Chain A
Amino acid sequence: MQTLWQDLHYGVRMLGKSPTFTVVAVVTLALGIGANTALFSVVNAVLLNSLPYHQPNRLVALAEGDRETSDPSKVSYGAAADWKARSRALQSIALYQEWTPTWTEGSAPEIVYGFRVTQDFFPMLGVEPAMGRAILPEDDRPDRWHIVLLSHAYWVRRFAANPKVIGTNIILDQVPFQIVGVLPESFQPLSFSDAGSPPEVWAALGYDLSLPDACRSCQHLQAVARLQDGASVEQARAEMNSIATELAREFPKDYPPESFVKMTPLRESWYGRVQSALWMLLGATVVVLLIACANVASLLLARAASKQREVALRAALGASRLRIVRQLLTESALVSVLGGIGGIFLAFWGTKLLILWGPQQIPRLSDVQVNSWVLIFTLFVSLATGILTGLAPALQAAQVDQREALQQTSRSLVGVSRCGFRSLLVVAQVACAFVLAAGSALLLKSFVRAMDVTPGFDAQRLYTTNFALIGPKYEDPQAVVRFEREVLERIRLLPGIESAGITSVLPTGGGLDRAGLQVQDRLIPPPQVPSVDRYEVSPDYFPAMGMPLKRGRLFTEADAAGASPVAILSEKTAREVWPNEDAIGKRIQLGGRHEDRPWAEIVGIVGDVHQYGLDSPTTPQAYLLYSHHPFLRPCLVIRSGVNARTLTRETESILWSLDKNVPVWNPAMMEEILATSFSRRRFTTALFSGFGFLALLLAATGIYGVMSSQVAQRTGEIGIRMALGAQRSDVLRMILDGGARLTASGLFLGFAGAVSLSSLLRSQLYGIGPNDPLTLCEVLLVVALVALAACFIPTRRATRVDPLVALRYE
């Protein structure tokens, strides 16, 4: 204990004596540890914390797939009922569905984000209402489901946390719902709505098998299930798949062949998309920390070399090797603890920024905090850092031959290289920096390429907003069409408007319903029926979006007013279904084949649209007329030179003059929507590139340090060479050659590393391979240039050596 105290005391004194070294080392480590801690706190909150439910590891998500749908996310009520009846490995299966009713009691009608869930949903998660009662089995029926639970936040915001609201009614979609309870504040919903907003109201699903929507092929619900005690995921998965096969055999009309059930642990289904990105980012910070460690180790090695005589003296005076190692380790441990403290400060600050900048698509990002687990992690990392950085220098110093160090030998020799291990560190640093820089470059290029994708429409000067028609008066489809036509006509009369249209689903919003495409003059066996995304639009939708007409014609107002159905296909659909023929004039039906119903004539072909986001491929698309297939929740698109705020005000006044109960939400310029759809990619790319930059910077400092002390060590040698006739250019070449060799070895290793790690990156890339040779070469060049720049100052110093040093003898 006494000696430890002495070591500490001495260590502090030594650090105080060389403030530059101390500051550089501490800052370097603080950067590395800070980045790690910040990222770890995110990973800890988002990925490592168990889901806030009862026995979360026993929860799985279910989805129905078949040959067509290889990556399903939905189930049907009918199928879930079949599963419940047959499965023994699943204890219970709860269903839920996104629900966005309109609330019309305020000054303006408002959309409320919510879910409709089966009565076993909350019990399965182990969640009980903080107030009031839960959803009871008798609520979960088609005639009784008009009850709601409020989220804690909504209760506080809308009802000022008034406990008396329980039992009162709230009008949603013009229907009274009885508020039966309030959920606990700690409750975390399973997923957010597409708009990324947390759900505020929870109603009963209210299905039974008699409803048309409950059919076995009506896959529009999501399912979560709890495994039976003792059953493993594998067992349950095997059981469910044999049940699916069984069902497909028993009910060939209801289930497509090759039906299967996709079962994923709930955590995975929830975090799947962010998981790999976060682990990748954490990996990047670990690499940054390793580079920082290498820098500090290198600095400590340089110090150890300069302390050789001191160490030899101590050894001669009887200090044991252990004692010497411990003394030196104390010093590096002190540095790393200081670095760790700095790192925690940086992490506090960094996590705030992460939460601020992080996209909403990362679940639970707001839970991120520097808590005790994170601090333990940091402590561990700091200690590991201390040992990692201190061990090599300490061992090297302790190995000094006492006799040799005290004698004046090797004076006659100059330029005996003592930078062996430090050179290795530089090689490793360059390699690591290359790996990160390559990753950054690939991500950046992916980002640019994804941004560069032509969406299939013109996003500039395009305004969009959503509205909904609610209430009994719109049960008449013609009333819906009349309303929508009236709105469009009035909007077109506004000043500055070029065109305005409506659609059922806006691009990047995906598809609402995927339907089989039937061709009148071709009988396609059911499994081969091509499936397309179906959109209902007004005639002016295409010009408003700026979508190009490829062949035929667009919808006309006459089409819309007339009764004979018409359709427009995207190029991809036309090409796939009629590879060798003109699709114009062909007759189709979307959905099942119904010979008794009219067939729609294909009148035109338009360009493909990236409907699921710019970085997702285009899908087969078919457009029908809004007036033939009325829908209650249109999305309005307006092309104009008018600003968004004016347009919002004017559309609202038009809509509300027709019906004051129409909610209007999500007004935005299309360019903003595209930008938002990139937020996760932007987040990952920005962070990773930041770490790549930091890595490059640290590696450059490392190279600079090693080259500097190499030049310092070789001053005598350089002087002699100059006395013997080495020109400055010779010296320049010699020193740069050394630096270039280290850099080249580092780049070589880094290249190998980048190629072998590339598969980890694949899922994050777009439009570029993880081993893209051009990118790797560019990065190679950049890293090489940075490394050479880092060599520049030491090299210049070398060429300034005075040959007179050759004559000096000390």
Chain B
Amino acid sequence: MVEANGTLIKMEGVKKVFYTDEVETHALEEIHLEIKRGTYISIAGPSGCGKSTLLSILGLLDSPTDGNYWLNGQPVAKLTISERTRIRNREIGFIFQAFNLIGDLTVYENVELPLTYRGTSAAERKQKVQQALERVGMAHRLRHYPSQLSGGQQQRVAVARALVGDPLILMADEPTGNLDSKNGEAVMELLRDLHRNGATICMVTHDQRYANFAERTIHLFDGRIVEETQEAEVGA
């Protein structure tokens, strides 16, 4: 384990090239990045600049074409598929723009999902799911199916699912993209709360208002980091 303010994520010269039908898309070029534990960082930039690609590499959903990436001090490149899956399951919590709740499962089961894949005991699962749902204010909807919830509620459940396993870092790709502004703000408040309680958060957004919730904002353009801003007294 790294000490409280140590480096959680480190990237050096990360590149991502997509090869499709003889076309090379350079989605990311020479990304250097360090994220410390407990940071709330946002990634901003115009559509198609590579935000989601960066997040998917950070979240071990994809691997870089070139460059090095250390997660929690460990070089990621050498991991096998099942080790990557294990790390995704234990260290990373995902929040998607499209909520991505599983329609056949109840709210409770959806939140429970990451825990079942790591073999947590039923009693512990129950307690953790309960806690996570309480944190997002959805504990009263355990037996509902996602289709019976509003979009904002669904995204809150998705947040609960992301944090139920106590991940090192939360990755969110446009978590408010499918929400109206009122619900969007509620979710952002929720993330800010989580951050205040010590969570590391990495969020993609192209909404400037929400980017300001973060301590650090990375601006991407054409696959490169073009600017970095620091919010001085966020959370103060």
Contacts and interface: CB of A to CB of B under 8 A. Distances in A.
B104 interface: yes
A804 B16 CA distance: 14
A720 interface: yes
B118 A725 contact: yes
A650 interface: no
Interface string A722-756: 11111110100000000000000000000000000
A2 interface: no
A533 to B, nearest CB: 71
Contacts of A526: none
A807 B61 contact: yes
Interface stretch (A122-130, A411-419, A777-785): A411-419
Interface string B126-162: 0000000000000000000011000100100000010
Interface residues of B, number: 35
Interface string B17-49: 000000000000000000000000000000000
B117 A727 contact: yes
A724 B117 contact: yes
Interface in B87-121: 88-90, 94, 96-104, 113-114, 117-118
A720 B61 contact: no
B115 to A, nearest CB: 9
B62 interface: yes
Contacts of B99: 412-413
B88 A723 contact: yes
A724 B151 contact: no
Given A724-B114, A724-B117, A726-B117, A414 B100 contact: yes
Interface string A405-431: 000001111111100000000000000
A584 B82 CA distance: 83
A420 to B, nearest CB: 12
A806 B172 CA distance: 12
A720 B151 contact: no
Contacts of A716: 100
A807 B113 contact: no
A7 interface: no
B236 to A, nearest CB: 33
Given A724-B89, A727-B82, A415 B117 contact: no
B7 interface: no
B81 A728 contact: yes
A258 B101 CA distance: 81
Interface string A778-807: 000000000000000000000000011011
B85 A727 contact: yes
B72 interface: no
B82 A725 contact: no
Contacts of B146: 412-413
Contacts of B114: 724-725
Interface string A699-711: 0000000000000
Interface in A154-213: none
Given A410-B147, A412-B146, A803-B61, A725 B103 contact: no
Nearest to A724: B114
Contact of A412 (B81, B90, B151, B161): B151
Given A412-B178, A413-B147, A725-B89, A809 B102 contact: no
B61 A806 contact: yes
14 contacts: A412-B151, A414-B103, A721-B102, A722-B85, A723-B61, A724-B161, A725-B88, A725-B117, A727-B82, A727-B85, A803-B85, A804-B61, A806-B61, A807-B56
B55 interface: yes
B104 A416 contact: yes
Given A417-B104, A804-B56, A730 B98 contact: no
A139 interface: no
A172 B202 CA distance: 109
Contacts of B88: 723-725, 803
A415 B61 contact: no
A728 B56 CA distance: 19
A730 B117 contact: yes
B117 A806 contact: no
A64 interface: no
A414 B154 CA distance: 13
B52 interface: yes
A66 to B, nearest CB: 71
B62 A804 contact: yes
A803 B55 CA distance: 13
Given A414-B102, A721-B117, A726-B117, 11 more contacts: A412-B99, A413-B102, A417-B104, A717-B102, A723-B88, A723-B94, A724-B113, A724-B117, A725-B114, A806-B94, A807-B56
A716 B103 CA distance: 11
Q: Which of A721, A724, A806 has the most CB of B within 10 A?
A: A724
Interface residues of A, number: 25
A410 B147 CA distance: 7
Contacts of B52: 807
B103 A416 contact: yes
A809 to B, nearest CB: 5
B102 A412 contact: no
A573 B52 CA distance: 92
A755 to B, nearest CB: 34
B74 to A, nearest CB: 17
A723 B85 CA distance: 7
Contacts of B86: 725, 727
B201 to A, nearest CB: 17
A409 to B, nearest CB: 9
Contact of A720 (B62, B89, B102): B102
B87 to A, nearest CB: 9
A417 B104 CA distance: 7
Interface string A584-612: 00000000000000000000000000000
B61 to A, nearest CB: 5
A303 B154 CA distance: 31
B55 A807 contact: yes
Contact of A806 (B90, B100, B154, B161): B100
Interface string A372-416: 000000000000000000000000000000000000001111111
A809 B113 contact: no
B35 to A, nearest CB: 19
Nearest to A412: B99
Interface string B42-81: 0000000000100110010110000000000000000001
Given A725-B114, A730-B117, A415 B102 contact: yes
Contacts of B59: 723
Contacts of A717: 102, 104
A727 to B, nearest CB: 5
Contact of B101 (A412, A722, A804): A412
A579 to B, nearest CB: 70
A722 B89 CA distance: 9
A729 to B, nearest CB: 8
A722 B100 CA distance: 12
Given A725-B89, A725-B90, A727-B82, A411 B98 contact: yes
Give me the 7 closest cross-chain CB pairs, A-B, nearest first: A725-B89, A413-B103, A416-B103, A725-B117, A412-B99, A809-B98, A724-B114
A807 B61 CA distance: 9
Nearest to A729: B82
A562 to B, nearest CB: 92
A806 B96 contact: yes
A803 B96 CA distance: 13
A415 B146 CA distance: 11
A523 to B, nearest CB: 85
B213 to A, nearest CB: 21
A726 B102 contact: no
Interface in B150-209: 151, 154, 161, 173, 177-178
A728 B96 CA distance: 22
Nearest to A718: B102
A809 B96 CA distance: 9
Contacts of B62: 804
Contacts of B147: 410, 413, 416
A77 B56 CA distance: 99
